Chains A and B, each alone.
Chain A
């Protein structure tokens, strides 16, 4: 069956079940009935004053009675410094547990060590928002038993609530926790800021273990994850590499190309009609995307604009803007650097939120639906404004869906920033290799060679032209770039489906096939 963007979607995949094709950004969320397969919370019991403390993670995992075919979940707040997920998988493997479904909110460079567990079939399914590095290559060539499912941040919450992901064991790292499992990422030697992705795991998993390198006196204040959901608590020497968990402050790029793109994007925002008091704003943490904040900051000061809130994906740069009074508040689901943790802890206007509140399409108050402007990156874009943030130039899995499609769908103005080509590879395509965010939810694509406005927004195009912004037809831009770079050879793909891209409403928006040659 074909979905709304013309991708052939299998009706059924062994090991994953029936698939629903993508029908459009809001089709199933607004017009259809809300899915009724809601799960209930697990009933648990604990004797008064009994201790939850375990000496080792191994002891805690054994008490959770792991079994073959179980689903294990983790959060990715420790980013590239995570030492907990690998440890948990290693313990389960030593216990002989197999056929594991791994559902981590994302997977980073810290998880390359999963490769042998995938190869020997100990891990057979993966649900996640991002896959990179050696693990990405392993899955891309077809070594995971069943196709990986790439969901968005909001989609993950929905997948928990519909029972698509049924967590049996959740191992949640915290930079501070007490004996009952009240836990936070806001302080401690390994502080990582918001713990927003872990909230859903704590609430809905059958067994929850909190792992910390910093057991504090009861009660742990503040606490994101609360004690009535937690089965066991483990104090370990280390939850990972603190320098890779969160370090220093985020710097704005020096790349002239990124700065040029960011300058144009800020001008687009200024003339979009949304640049006024009370504006809400989200920006990514990388390259050109974050640099937009630098120019927006200058423009807001120049025009005395005070915004309502920022959300994200929060960097120290956002915290600086909060402290300068340019925004009233920050809603923080994930913090990107060390300087953010202290703001989460000390500034009452820096509000930690769960991923549910951040982006779940099936609640009635997600922040992404209240967003005015979002600036997002892209690996590739196409003439229909579709965006790829998951597969690289050989078709290999090397990125993250993250909150890309969530924010794009909710924001009044979705701006995608990217160079028109990168190291000879044209970025504007006839069709992106993998659609993560449908063009229907993308308004503007900003490149160094001009701004492309979605034809569905003629008024916006007119406003920008009037303001002197160089608005170009996306097909003309594609042609101009290909004249310089040449047209790349076709990718060498097989016919094995290695991953499915799940849209935030649970439908399948695209399919990823195995690659024959990795660059």
Chain B
């Protein structure tokens, strides 16, 4: 089935058993992103080390399998990264999903599984949701939520 390309085994696994799910005690940054089209909302919490590396990261919220799996994969991938490295990875994911770069197999962890989203443009927003929250969180300390 065509959809097996979208819902690859790694995506289904992370959607069923999201890693780093829940709020992070003692986070110093957080940001949320919502997909107005479907009501999905994801909130990322992270703690930076004195050297500015992502020391801990978790996420909460509710979303479809694609947005949940993408967030779960994100938390594994950026752990220990500097702000710049994480932002560069986010930009790579964006290029991967929008088809402006070829699917790469050197992406960390199971991130390459997100390449299946390329053929479903209506789902790119789902996959990018947590990455937008990451960029927002890395831009600065949390603004008080509205």
Q: Say whether A and B bind each other.
A: no
